[in-house]
Structure 1
């Protein structure tokens, strides 16, 4: 997406979500060191293993091309986690990037098992190109679920993604049951068959929907003040 983010509008947008988290007793911070992020996720009870695309041992993230969100409660216990990274798909598309396994591994020939595979049949995945912001690894502690924390996380991740990258697309892969329940916020579009995935050594078997919004839709959300807190 062309253009530069309006820092004042981004600040106003982010403040809505930071304040909403604070009202629930959660202090939010942003990090960029993914070795630190993996250490936090591994030490967090009930948090599943972080997928390899956010682990430096399998997919290093260059400075300025990724961030993570941490929320802690009044006792400094981890309450929220999410990660984001930027893919340069100026000469490719998201479907190709998935099926080559390069979404998950910097070097699939080195790190992927010979039986690993990913199929993407979501038609729009081939149209997702350019600067693509990918969100994932979201975790909300059980006692905080059903309290609007997913909207808060969605807003924070969008604000930072827009401020850092002003991407052409923002997307994620989400379990179908979550899409069907209507608890996936901020994405304008969704299609089934985004990632039919098997990673042997990671013990991962998924059949996820592709969810996304365009860069213009992201800009309209952030700079237009259409807060997810106020609308589903």
Structure 2
């Protein structure tokens, strides 16, 4: 776990089979303030990277998530300077207009092929949720995921209980990004309940 995103990018850029990290977590594009963003990297028994994910929290007290995404400020500290020509984002998820306050973003989630299908999604998301709760207790936590993650039920395994299509129709031509992602999210109360439930289940398993 760390907060140095120069280090994070140096690691993730060398991972075969992983898509490039989005601008949200790139220090050359985003302002990743100390205490407001962190990453988690998991290694296998041989010290080889098997998993990565990153989180950051945005202050959306004077705006909402839909406006934040559409302005491209979710990706870039200064869209006018950092965004390439013809870059755009459209958010058609209705609830995004009501997501405000301190809002945590959970992204860049990657798991190596040989670890997939082993029921790790819930555990890995639980690590991120627990750390985000301890650090920020944000009003919301959200992720943007491709339709296949919804169709395969992986978003359910993560623990997210809300979802809406077309949360981020993102075009970054200079980065070869053309995505139409679902918005998935939890409220502060739901995240707290999820963490408590997971902790209780863990204790019960250990005692059984």
2:39 to 68, 78, 82: 68
Task: Quote how far apart the aligned CAs of 1:114 are.
Answer: 2.8
1:56-112 deviation digits (Å, cap 9, x = unpaired): 000020000011111001110000000000010000111000000000000000011
Rounded Cα–Cα distance in structure 1 between residues aligned with 2:167 and 2:120: 25
2:20 pairs with 1:44: no
1:110-160 deviation digits (Å, cap 9, x = unpaired): 011230000001000011100001000001000000011211111000000
User: Residues 1-232 of structure 1: matches in 2 within 5 Å?
Assistant: 30-184=1-155, 185-225=158-198
Report if aligned partners of 1:155, 1:228 keep a CA contact under 8 Å in 2: no
* CA pair 188-226 structure 1, distance change in 2 beyond 3 A: farther
Rounded Cα–Cα distance in structure 2 between residues aligned with 1:226 and 1:172: 22
Rounded Cα–Cα distance in structure 2 between residues aligned with 1:60 and 1:109: 14
More displaced stretch, 146-155 vs 79-88: 146-155
Rounded Cα–Cα distance in structure 2 between residues aligned with 1:210 and 1:227: 28
1:160-192 deviation digits (Å, cap 9, x = unpaired): 000000000000000011112101121110000
* CA pair 78-53 structure 1, distance change in 2 beyond 3 A: same
Rounded Cα–Cα distance in structure 2 between residues aligned with 1:48 and 1:177: 16
- TM-score for both structures, normalised by structure 2: 0.93
Gaps of 5+ in 1: 1-29
Rounded Cα–Cα distance in structure 2 between residues aligned with 1:39 and 1:182: 31
* CA pair 39-228 structure 1, distance change in 2 beyond 3 A: farther
Rounded Cα–Cα distance in structure 2 between residues aligned with 1:116 and 1:138: 23
Of structures 1 and 2, the one with the larger relative CO (CA 8 A, separation 6+) is 1
The root-mean-square deviation of aligned C-alpha atoms, in Å, is: 1.5
Rounded Cα–Cα distance in structure 2 between residues aligned with 1:227 and 1:186: 15
- Secondary structure of the 1:31 match is coil
- TM-score for both structures, normalised by structure 1: 0.84
